[in-house]
A and B are shown apart, each in its own frame.
Chain A
C-alpha cells in the first residue's frame, strides 16, 4: 500500500487536516485546516488518476492511439476540477461568515462564542 512516496505524503496531509480541524480553537485556523484537508483530497484524486501512468492524455498529430494503461486517466482530473471550485466557494462563504461572527461576538474563539450564544438563547426564550 505504501509503495509510493506520493501516497505517504497525501495520507500525512490528510491526517494533518483532520487533526487541525478538530484541535484548532480559532475559527480562522480551523478554516485554514479545512483548506489543507481539501488540498489532500485533490491529491488523492490525482493519485488515483495517475495509477498507470503520468503521461498526459493528449494526442499530437503523428502519434497513434494509446492503450489506456499508457496515459494518465483524465476523468479524476476533470472531476476534481469541480471539487476545487466548490471548495473555493465554501471557503470564501465561510470566511464571510467568520467576518460577521467577529463583528457580532468580538472574538474568534469557539468556546467564548458558544457561551455567549447559549446565554442569549435562554434569555431570549424567557423574554
Chain B
C-alpha cells in the first residue's frame, strides 16, 4: 500500500496477537519486567506513526478466521482508534518511566502491560461481544490495580466499583442478546448498514458503557482518588476512555434522538455537578477526580468529532496532572491543600513547569492542548448550554487553580529523576500537539475571551482559596444510591423508548 507495507489488515491482526501475548513474557523473564513493556510500546509506535503519516490507508479492517463479518470477530482500525491508541501509548510510556523511581515488583509491570494490551484490543474491537470481553477484562485488571497497595479503603472502593460494574455488564449482555434477537448479528458495521431502530437494547448498552466512563451519577470517585499515583493517572487518563470510545463510535453509527439526548444531558449534568463538587474539595486527588467527571461531560457533549479529539487531549492532560500531583504529595507528604499552603517547602522548576502547563491546558488558555476542542464543543451547543459549559470551564480553572496557588515555587532546577522526566515528557507532548492542532484553526480561537476567562478564574481562585467550606457528598457515591439512580434512569428511558 504505497510504500507503507505495515498498513495491511494482516499486520493489524499480527499486532493485536503480539500485543496480547507480550505481557505473558514478564512472568517467564522476571528480570526483563521493565524492558518488555517498552519493547511493545516501541513496536506499536512504529505502526501508529506510519498510520498517522499515511491517513489514506485507514480504515483497516480484518476478520479473524474465515467466518465473514456477520459472525466472525472483526477488528476495525480507523482515525478514532488511532487517536485513542496513541493517547494510551503516550500515557503508558510516561507511567512506566514514572514507575521506575519506585521499587515495583514484576507483578506490577505484568498487570500494567496487560492493561495496555487489552486497551489496544479494545480500541479496535468492532462487534458488541468483543467489546464486552475486552471491557470486562480491562475492568477486572483495573479492580486489581486499584487495590494494588492492599489498603483497606482501596479494597472497599474497588469492591464497590466491582458490584456496580457487574450489574452494568449484565445489562450490557441483556442488551447484546436483544440486539442479536432483532438483527442476527453483533457486528457494528453490519448493524449500521441495517439502519436498525432498536432503541431499547442500545439504551441498555449505552448505560452500561456510561458506568465505565465515570460520569456523575454512575461513578465512584474514590477509585481514582484512593489508588496510587500511577494507577490514578491511567484510570482517569485512559481507562475511562474505553467506555467513552465505544459510546462515541456506536452513537455515530446509530441515529436515535432519544439516545443522543440522553448522552448530551448526562454529559451536561456530569460537567456541572462534577465542577460544583470539585470547588468544595481540599484533597488534591479528589479535586482531580471530580475534574475528570466534568471533562467526561464535555466529551459526551462534544459527540463524534470533537469528543474524540477532546478525549485525546484530556487523557494526556489528566495523566500529567495526576503524576504532578504525585510529585507534590511525595514532596509535601500531604494531600490536603490547606496543609500544603502552610508548609515552607518549595517546588523546583522541573516539577512546577509541567504542573503549570497541565493547569494552563485544563484552564483552556489559547495554544495549549484542549483549549481548541473545548471551544468547538461549547460553540456547537445551543446558547443556554453554551453559557452553562463556559461557567463550568471557569469552575475548573478556579478549582485546579487552588492546587497551583497553594504550592510555593522556587527558581532552581533539581537533578533529573524518572519522575521529573516522565512529567516533562507529558508536558512536551501536550505543548507540541496543542500548537500543532491550534495553528490551522486560528479563526475559531478567541484568545482575548480565553485570557479574560482565565484571569477571572485566577482572581476568583485567589479569593475563594481559604473561604470555601469542605463538602463531600459521600451519600451520592454509596453503591445503593448509585444503583438506585441507575435503575430509575434506565427504567424511565426504557419506558420512553417503548412508548
Chain A residues at the B interface, C-beta cutoff of 8 Å: 14, 17-18, 21-22, 27, 30-31, 34, 37-38, 40-41, 44-45, 47-48, 51, 75-76, 79, 82-83, 86, 89-90, 93-94, 97-98, 100-101, 104-105, 110, 113-114, 117-118, 120-121, 125-126
Task: Report whether B480 and A83 are in contact in the complex, using a CB–CB cutoff of 8 Å.
Answer: no
Contacts of B132 in A (CB 8 A): 83
Contacts of B150 in A (CB 8 A): 100
Shortest beta-carbon distance from A75 to chain B in Å: 6
Checking A79, A97, A100, A126 against B129 with a beta-carbon cut-off of 8 angstroms, the contacting residue is A79
Task: Determine the distance from Cα of A98 to Cα of B160 in the docked complex, in whole angstroms.
Answer: 10
Task: Report whether B167 and A21 are in contact in the complex, using a CB–CB cutoff of 8 Å.
Answer: yes
Task: Determine the distance from Cα of A45 to Cα of B175 in the docked complex, in whole angstroms.
Answer: 10
Contact mask for chain B residues 254-297; partner A; CB cutoff 8 A; 1 contact, 0 none: 00000000000000000000000000001100000000000000
Chain B residues at the A interface, C-beta cutoff of 8 Å: 71, 129, 132-133, 136-137, 140, 143-144, 147, 150, 152-153, 155-156, 158-159, 162-163, 165-167, 169-170, 173-174, 176-178, 180-181, 282-283, 335-336, 474, 478-480, 483-484, 487
Checking A18, A21, A45 against B163 with a beta-carbon cut-off of 8 angstroms, the contacting residue is A21
Checking B152, B166, B178, B487 against A94 with a beta-carbon cut-off of 8 angstroms, the contacting residue is B166
Task: Determine the distance from Cα of A45 to Cα of B170 in the docked complex, in whole angstroms.
Answer: 11
Task: Determine the distance from Cα of A105 to Cα of B153 in the docked complex, in whole angstroms.
Answer: 10
Task: Report whether B181 and A30 are in contact in the complex, using a CB–CB cutoff of 8 Å.
Answer: no
Task: Report whether B170 and A41 are in contact in the complex, using a CB–CB cutoff of 8 Å.
Answer: yes
Checking B129, B165, B169, B177 against A44 with a beta-carbon cut-off of 8 angstroms, the contacting residue is B177
Q: Which residue of A lies closest to B129 (CB)?
A: A79
Task: Report whether A22 and B140 are in contact in the complex, using a CB–CB cutoff of 8 Å.
Answer: no
Contacts of A120 in B (CB 8 A): 152-153
Given A22-B484, A22-B487, A125-B283, A45 and B177 contact (CB-CB distance below 8 Å): yes
Task: Report whether A82 and B133 are in contact in the complex, using a CB–CB cutoff of 8 Å.
Answer: yes
Contacts of B174 in A (CB 8 A): 14, 41, 44
Contacts of A17 in B (CB 8 A): 170
Contacts of A110 in B (CB 8 A): 478-480
